[in-house]
A and B are shown apart, each in its own frame.
Chain A
Amino acid sequence: MRNDTLSGLLGRPVQMRTGGGTSAFLRKVWAVAAKDIRAELRAKEVASTMIVFGLLAVVIFGLAFDLRVPKSSMVVPGILWVIVLFAGVLGLHRSFGAEVDRDTLAGLLLAPVEPSAIYFGKLASNLLYLFVLELFVLPVMLVMFDTNLFQPYILLGLFLGTIGYAEVGTFFAALTANSRARESMLPVLLLPVMVPVFMAGVSLTAGILDGRPVSGLVSWLVILAVFDLIFFVAVYWIVDLIWDGI
């Protein structure tokens, strides 16, 4: 019986599509992202950790500054971006670290898939986790600090900053995945690179909360957009080199 099924298995020709261009590339990007999201919905290991950390940080910052700062909107921009950066690191290091721990990264790289498709699939799932984190953190900040962050330009800045953070963070997560000290290596490498995003994000959020005219704050949005664009192109070109020799 078993020999019959085995010989039937090997007797049937297996066809693989070749080529396919951009649509095949996007199919593989989606396959990686969907696999990660499905596994996360079952395990609740990454996004839930980020959300719990983010909410705890809001409460702790709220208690820390409540009695000492005359106006909470003075500290809210910094608190928001610190929470996004620190909670994000928790999820980013798992995106490739989990693949290395389960010995699945080699299997992925052996498949006829461009490494950049794996990177962009991971980027998509990391972006989703970060946006979900922000969805939880913003309303809690509204309650804790009595500051409305649901303003179009603040949300646009947060959106652009999150994309840049996920782009660079996913890249460094791939770079450090095979390192034994990846948990400490990732923030040490990533956070200095994120200084422009952090400064632009905090300045934009503070400017909007202070009621300054938007025309004077557009430059911060431009910095965030240019950062996203530069790292998108740069990472696309160099991500294939990360796994050379694995």
Chain B
Amino acid sequence: MVYENLNGVENLRFFARMYDLVKPDARIEAVLTAMDLWRRRYDPVRTYSRGMIQRLAIGRAILHDPPVLLLDEPDTGLDQESVAVLTDLIDQLRQGGRAVLVTTHNWDRARRWADRVYHLVEGTIEDGVDVLEQP
């Protein structure tokens, strides 16, 4: 997901070049601050914890502010602090009008994060729950 021999800034700068972002440095600073990685921005990613790598990968995904975000089990192996950052981010993305599709094994988190929750059983959607319409 990210390059472990580069540091956080270098990772995001590389992808900023790939996306041809205008004024990438300001955006990189904003993303790293939001992901709570600004203090460790010059440390090689290989020295990051799993949660920090996951947060950097999410930061990379939102670097170019995509209208649709696909997060495949973003909470796997995350510590509580990282889950809290992720939860706040998903809240903000939702409120900002971005579509977020998340897969997770954690039913409670799915209900906390989502407007609609679908239960996937052996590759088939079994039922859908509209969280907003539930009491």
Identify the A interface with B (CB < 8 A). Answer: 2-3, 5-18, 20, 24, 27-28, 31, 35, 38-40, 42-43, 102-104, 107-108, 111-113
Contact = CB atoms under 8 A, between A and B. Distances in A.
B50 interface: no
A-B complex: 8 closest residue pairs judged by Cβ atoms: A111-B18, A31-B17, A15-B22, A14-B65, A39-B5, A17-B20, A6-B92, A10-B96
Given A39-B3, A104-B2, A10 B21 contact: no
B15 A107 contact: yes
Interface of B: 1-6, 10, 14-15, 17-23, 26-27, 30-31, 33-34, 36, 44, 60, 62-65, 84-85, 88-89, 91-93, 95-96, 98
Given A6-B34, A9-B31, A24-B20, A107 B60 contact: yes
Contacts of B62: 9
A31 B44 CA distance: 19
A14 B12 CA distance: 14
Nearest to B89: A6
Nearest to A106: B1
Contacts of B44: 42
B91 to A, nearest CB: 8
Given A10-B96, A14-B64, A104 B1 contact: yes
A34 B18 CA distance: 12
B88 A10 contact: no
A5 B34 contact: yes
